Structure 1
Amino acid sequence: MPGSSHPQAIQDHHVSSTFPTTSHVIEVRSHTSMSKQPSSTVVCASSCSGEPSGKSVPLKRAFSDGGLVVPLAKAKRASASDDESLVSIREVEYPDHGFIATKQLSEYPVYAKHEYTTHDCSNACPLGESQQALNAYIRTAHSPLVLPLLFGWYRQVKTTGKGKKNLKKVVTYFTPCGKQLDCIKDVYDYLMLVGSIVPITVFTFEGDVELTNRFCIKKDSVKRFDEDLAKKILDKPYARYPIFNCFSDSLPDSFSYVKKITKSEKVVRLLKEKGISERTEGCGCQGTCTVNCLCFNMYEDERGYCYGRLLRKQNYIVECNDNCKCGPSCLNRVTTNTVTFPLILYNYPDKGWGVRALCDIPKGTFLAYYYGQVVADSEISEKHDKYLVALDFKGAISKDDSIAEGEGEHEESELLNLDGRRFGNIARFMNHSCDPNVFVQVIQREMFSGQIYNVAFFTARNIGAGEELAWDYGYEVGSLPNRRIICMCRAKYCRTYML
């Protein structure tokens, strides 16, 4: 509602440092000069304009908003100047109603550097992990990275080197007992030694990540507000996804917010016929997993997670699940044992709804799974081709590209898709970008199959507060007849067209 407030995201005051808009004129290139992208993954179907002329072709790899649909018949008739006029909407400037505010770390209830006295660290070390400190985090903190500070930790950032090109920010953590830790491995070893409940994902040695930055929106600029996209169904009290519309009084189309994927009746039958079922086995590791872990040994890539973060995309990751005996501190439980980074849903006048970061987020951080209903290709309607993610990502475990239905020469192949139109979560609103800051990772957690798996989103680089989170849908321009979508990502090297 207009005038409503949110304790973290709306501030009724002004600061001199405003968040810059990314709107700028982008050169229009010819269709033939564009490089082709991988044909897997998805494409955006926009709500910015009507359906194209001619027979409708479903966007079976469709996702969220982020582009302008153009009738192909008009595009074929258009001259070079006409083509430029079609993309002129990308050059329209519009205000960004957000700004970056900072909060001094000393303002938090618990924040002090402790003097170190020589001792052997053990579970007798003071940790400050009280319910009072946790309540203070829920009430006041804008970033999970502040949580250690409320528990008595101290984070120090020093700039070293000479000259602008050689400057480097070096991060050091000091424990509640005063011990100095200079790398993420030392932090993890300390957490295990003293039996801390603090997850490793709330620590970062990225010097460019500012713990004090938070994205705010002035109250008087909000025309429509809702406190939580998830309707408060998430387990954690601080896991809220507020909705902001500064340009109209509309909210996103109605859908059911879910916390896991569901399957259509046809998909359940196809999986049963194929002999694909949920994982019933788990590792027998005690505490945290080692190199002998059953799940680790299912990897193609030995690197996997790096102390709670995924620093580069891999073919797939087999993550420990509910059947495993390892504890919550296991380094192979990243997507389920982490503190949620706050995100907001923000309406853009040219590309619709998008997801923005409320605080700085380090590289390799897990953001969300893409949840929805798993459906077969034959269940996709031409009228409802948005919010679809095809489960055809390269690097899947099995070499089979589809699930076969029937036998003999008339065998029918079915590709499975994640449909987020009726059932979904915050990830369904992530837009496309030709210069993405988010990447997709295949996670084998509930199942171990190349046909059905979890689709997870991780940050590809450090994310600044207020920055939109977007990934490359990877669709091939010109691959669908009667459809053309102008890209609205406004990246410096935008490919102009998404489809």
Structure 2
Amino acid sequence: MVTSLKNTKGITDDLSSSSVFDTPCSSVSSTSPDKQDVVIVLDDDNAENDIKIDKHSITDIIEKYDNLIVNSLIEKLEINTELIIVKPNLPIRICATAKAYSNLQDTHIIMVLNPRLSTSECVTKRQAYIHEPCPSFDVPIRTRVFHRSLSLLGFVFEMPCPIKNQNRYLVLYDNFTANYHSHLEFHLCLCQDFRRHLLNIDYKELRAHYQDAFQNSNKIKQSNYMIGNIIRVRKFGNQYHNVRIIDIDCSIIKICFFERKSKKEIWIHTNSSIIEPSQQISQSTKLSIPLSPQTPTEELNNSYSDLSRLRKRKDQNSNANKGAKKLRDRSNTKQLSMQHQQSSSTSNEQLSITTCRTNILTPYYTNILLPKFRMLNALPSISHKCSRQCVLSAEEHFSPRKIQTNPFLLPFECNWSIVDSKPRGYRTPCCQILYSLDDIEQYLYRTQSKLSIKFFIDGVLTRFQPSIDDYDKKFLILNDLSNGHENVKIPVYNDIDNDRPDNFNYITKIRPIDNRIAAALNDNNATSCCDCIDNCNDRMKCACFRKTLSQAQINHDPLVMEKEKNRYTLAYMLKTTGYQRKRLLNPISSGVYECNSKCSCHREHCSNRLVQQGLFVHLQLFKDKVKGWGLRALHDLPRGTFLCQYIGELLTSDQGHERAQSMDDKYQTSLDLVKQVHYEINNEGGDDIDDDDDDEPYVVDGSLFSNLGKYFNHACEPNMFIQNVFIESHDLHFPNLALFTRTHVKAGQGIN
């Protein structure tokens, strides 16, 4: 039976819809799906509310055609068909129809029974949604849908496209947000009259938002937003707030309200009407990561000035109190002080505080890595015990012996990904999330991975981008200084003059000048070792780690003495002395004792083997106008990164003096650790032992045989340090001279 709408007008007077703003649909609240009501569904089509159109535009024709498509798919309702009823300020209900209707389009009232109340109930057809998920057909734009898990009403704005949106529907919601979904995630409304839905939205700004979006849907251009942009978004009336873009997915952006205590993060469309018009990708107002290489100071200056400008304009508009205000940025959890400082030192201090997540958001990260991370992070995680099988297929074509790119990108070549959380974590090829480098190190050992913990970083300063390769190739003198002897190539670049590096034989190990010195160097009778059978994870049991600490205590290493003064435990001092996840954060005056060939621990994954594994970072030999030949990093280097050894011929001090008579001695370096450590050991024991005149000092000469270590320059404020490392020989005469970064080094920065 079909009932006229006029006969039920009294029932529908109180059923007008209200829009949902900044809440998960105020007209919706969840309820148990197994509780079913019997309702009467009616359409509120009324000639009094019809929109009068004199001329049919192309948009009207398309809209009418789209409505016909959807209505043709919901032509009838079978008896006991389940519907989702969404009313303003009432919980949602799962209801069943009381009878079948063969022509739903022309039906205004659907009569059903309510078994609990034994009465009938009426709702408008626009408040009823098919309980079954949307079938797999092309749902046109302007289709009214309901997302049950989000409890949000909205309209379809984009149809699936493999290029534009990765075959997903884009839905604009009544709280001004937007999201991508598959067809199984939303439910279709029985009423698909777009204009009637707009008329029943009480909030006029939301109506204008939808009208503007769909009228200009064919005029939308490709957005130039980038992660890190700071824009202003309207929220709660006409008030605009500063937000940072923290993610981008096709046509939508994820923003963070870092001025609000709630630290709310939402997705909106790139052409949303709530974005301040003056902020629509104005080059003067966006905080962007440039395509060309930029120094960290320039990046921070851009960030600081942009935030200051936005804050200043807001203060002028609202006449708020001026002074020091702090913005909490959820995207990097750093407080940004907005008070202008007079002194340059304080300004630099402020800029260092803003060094955060923006620093790693390079175009390569956002355009190449981030889409890959999204795809990998979407894979389901299955509980299992990790083994070699977890990484076998991912590392099938990977070889750590020849590193062609930035080593900190190597994990991503083996299906690792970044999980951008607090704290940031790595997701393994078997979909496990690890938040600390200690856990990653154990995972690599447990799976016998080809990767090393030195390829992973936990700081936010190091940017994920390929090694610098945009220099003029015509000034490239050599492709590889080492002629293939190292794991990485060492290019030689000179755009100053026509000079070439000195002629020398490239070697990777110390070369004794005669057999007597070779015998002394290779004598490892006094070399101690550990009996660990794993990766030396338990430092309390590792004799090599303990020797590094005990020698530092005997020789009164300043940092170790400070820890003893503060009464730190032995376990803590062992953990923080020596290598920490294959990085050396602070020099140790008495030397570092690595595990050696006599130890039984794992050769590749031992946490106390680093220098012996050779060069793994990308460096370039270049000509400087002032200092001459020097070395610079081709990618960011974290603090404590191993650079290389200083390699050359091993001579006695007398032989070095003799050689200096015929050639320059600028590449000679004395191994003077004997006197320094021996003197302190003698004083520790309190014995009066005369200096052993037979202790002949040795020197390393890099004039004829050497490696890239000979080209490191001197600096008054160096960003690297030299560390004595003992490997095969524990003889204090023969330490290995290893070089480590003292500070974080940016790509293109000289190392000295």
TM-score range, shorter chain: 0.5 to 0.7
- Higher Cα radius of gyration: 2
Separation in 2, partners of 1:393, 1:355: 26
Partner in structure 2 of residue 255 of structure 1: 504
CA-CA distance at 1:255 after TM superposition: 0.5
Amino acid at match of 1:428: K
Per the alignment, do residues 338 and 350 of structure 1 end up closer, same or farther by CA in structure 2, a change over 3 Å counting? closer
Matches within 5 A, 1:100-115: 103-104=364-365, 107=368, 112-115=376-379
Name the structure 2 match of 1:481. none
- Larger fraction in helix: 2
Partner Cα separation in structure 1 for residue 382 and residue 623 of structure 2: 54
Deviation (angstroms), 1:340: 0.4
| 1:376 equivalent in structure 2 | 652
Alignment of 1:123-142 (within 5 A): 123=387, 126-127=390-391, 129-130=393-394, 133-134=397-398, 142=405
Residue aligning to 2:462: 209
Q: Cα–Cα, structure 1 residues 343 and 458, in superposed 2: closer, same or farther, change >3 Å?
A: same
Q: Residue 198 of structure 1 corresponds to which residue in structure 2?
A: 451
Q: Is the 1:201–1:338 Cα contact (8 Å) retained in structure 2?
A: no
Counterparts of 1:240 and 1:409 in 2: how far apart (Å)?
A: 45
Can you give the 5+ residue segments of structure 2 that lack an aligned partner in the other structure? 1-289, 298-360, 553-573, 682-689
- The residue identity in structure 1 corresponding to 2:437 is I
- Between the aligned partners of 1:288 and 1:448, the Cα distance in structure 2 is 21
Distance 1:120 1:180 in 2: 13
Confirm or deny: 8 A CA contact 1:398 1:451 kept in the other structure.
no
2:407 equivalent among 105, 126, 144: 144
Q: Distance in 1 between matches of 2:643 and 2:698?
A: 23
**Following TM superposition, by how much is the alpha carbon of 1:271 offset from its aligned partner in structure 2, in angstroms?**
4.3
CA distance, structure 1, for counterparts of residue 640 and residue 648 of structure 2: 23
TM-superposed CA distance for 1:175, in Å, is 1.4
Give 1:464's aligned amino acid. K
Instruction: Name the SS for the 1:418 alignment partner.
Output: strand
2:666 corresponds to which residue?
A: 386
- Report Cα offsets for 1:27-77 as digits up to 9, x if no partner: xxxxxxxxxxxxxxxxxxxxxxxxxxxxxxxxxxxxxxxxxxxxxxxxxxx
- Runs of 4+ with >3 A deviation: 18-22, 104-111, 128-133, 135-139, 269-272, 275-282, 393-401, 408-414
Q: Distance in 2 between matches of 1:173 and 1:458?
A: 25
Aligned pair partner of 2:729 in 447, 450, 464: 447
Question: 1:116/1:16 Cα in 2 relative to 1: closer, same or farther (>3 Å)?
Answer: closer
The one-letter amino acid of 1:399's match is: Y
Overall identity of the aligned pairs, in %: 25
State how far apart, in whole Å, the 2-side matches of 1:154 and 1:375 are: 48
Partner of 1:286: 533
2:482 maps to which of 230, 238, 242: 230
Q: 1:311 aligns with which of 561, 585, 590?
A: 585
Number of matched pairs: 356
Secondary structure, in 3 states, of the residue corresponding to 1:436? coil
Superposition deviation, residue 132 in structure 1: 5.3
Q: Structure 2 CA distance, aligned partners of 1:230 and 1:186?
A: 35
Q: Give the C-alpha shift of residue 276 in structure 1.
A: 6.1
Write the letter of the residue equivalent to 1:241.
I
C-alpha distance in structure 1 between counterparts of 2:702 and 2:722, whole Å? 16
Q: Note the C-alpha offset of 1:233.
A: 2.4
CA shift at 1:121, angstroms?
3.3
Cα pair distance change 1:319/1:397, threshold 3 Å: farther
CA shift for structure 1 position 218: 2.8
**Residues of 2 paired with 1:143 and 1:231: CA distance?**
19
Whether contact under 8 Å (2:670, 2:699) holds in the other structure is yes
How far residue 105 of structure 1 moved from its aligned partner, in angstroms, is 6.7
Residues 20 and 378 (structure 1 numbering): CA distance in 2 closer, same or farther, change over 3 Å? same
Which one-letter code corresponds to 1:287 in the other structure?
Answer: D
Q: What TM-score, normalized by structure 2, do the two folds share?
A: 0.43
- Contact 2:667–2:703 under 8 Å retained in 1: yes
Which residue identity is paired with 2:598?
A: N
Q: 1:338 to 1:102 in 2, by over 3 A?
A: farther
Q: Taking structure 1 as reference, are residues 21 and 101 closer, same or farther at Cα in structure 2, changes over 3 Å only? A: closer
Which residue matches 2:348? Answer: none
Match of 1:215, SS state, is coil
Out of 461, 481, 494, the position equivalent to 1:245 is: 494
- 1:358 shift after superposition: 0.9
Among residues 285, 296, 304, which one is paired with 2:545 in the alignment? Answer: 296
Superposed, which structure 2 residues align to 1:2-81 within 5 Å?
Answer: 17-18=292-293
Q: In the alignment, is the contact (CA less than 8 A) between 1:224 and 1:249 conserved in 2?
A: no
Distance, in Å, in 2 between the alignment partners of 1:124 and 1:412 is 53
| Per-residue deviation, 1:281 | 5.1
Q: Which runs of 5+ in 1 are unaligned?
A: 1-14, 23-99, 161-169, 402-407, 471-499
Query: Larger deviation: 437-446 or 384-393?
Result: 384-393
> Within 1, Cα distance between the matches of 2:380 and 2:414?
16
Secondary structure at the residue paired with 1:298? helix
Preserved contact between residue 362 and residue 464 of structure 2 (Cα < 8 Å): no
Report if the CA contact (8 A) 1:223-1:248 is conserved.
no
Alignment of 1:449-488 (within 5 A): 449-470=731-752
Q: Which has the higher contact order (CA 8 A, sep 6+)?
A: 1
User: Per-residue displacement from partner, 1:158-200 (whole Å, max 9, x unpaired)?
Assistant: 6x8xxxxxxxxx5321112222221111212222333323211
Residues 106 and 121 of structure 1: CA distance in aligned 2, closer, same or farther (over 3 Å): farther
Which string of whole-angstrom CA distances, capped at 9 and with x for unpartnered residues, describes residues 384-412 of structure 1? Answer: 211111112489653399xxxxxx99957
Over 3 Å counting, the alpha-carbon distance change for 1:196 and 1:102 in structure 2 is same
TM superposition shift of 1:263: 1.7
The answer to whether residue 435 in structure 2 is matched with residue 182 in structure 1 is: yes
Q: TM-score, normalised by structure 1?
A: 0.63
3-state SS, counterpart of residue 398 of structure 1:
helix
> 1:282 aligns to what SS in structure 2?
coil
Is the CA contact (8 Å cut-off) linking 1:360 and 1:462 kept in structure 2? Answer: yes
Alpha-carbon contact 2:527-2:730 (below 8 Å) kept: no
- What SS class does the counterpart of residue 189 from structure 1 fall into? helix
Match of 2:636 in 1: 360
Aligned equivalents of 2:751 and 2:692: distance in 1?
Answer: 44
How far the C-alpha of 1:293 sits from its partner, in A, is 2.3
- Aligned partners of 1:395, 1:205: CA distance in 2, in Å? 39
- Does the alignment pair 1:437 with 2:719? yes
Q: Which amino acid aligns with 2:499?
A: S
Return the alpha-carbon distance in structure 1 between the equivalents of residues 368 and 517 of structure 2: 53
Q: What's the offset of the Cα at 1:370?
A: 0.7
* Cα offsets for 1:430-475 (capped at 9, x unmatched): 11111111111110112112222101011112211111111xxxxx
Q: Cα distance, 1:424 vs. partner?
A: 0.6
- Determine the structure 1 residue equivalent to 2:384: 120
**TM-aligned CA distance change 1:352 to 1:305, over 3 Å:** same
Q: 2:50 maps to what in 1?
A: none
> Would you say the 8 A contact 1:286–1:325 is kept in 2?
yes
Note if contact 1:444-1:453 (Cα within 8 Å) is conserved in structure 2: yes
Structure 2 CA distance for aligned equivalents of residues 339 and 261 of structure 1: 15
Structure 1 residues 223 and 153: CA distance shift in structure 2, 3 A: closer
Q: Distance in 2 between matches of 1:365 and 1:395?
A: 28
SS of alignment partner, residue 191 of structure 1: helix
2:600 aligned with 1:325: yes
- TM-superposed CA distance for 1:219, in Å, is 2.1
Per-residue CA deviations over 1:322-348 (Å, capped at 9, x if unaligned) read: 222211211011223477011110111
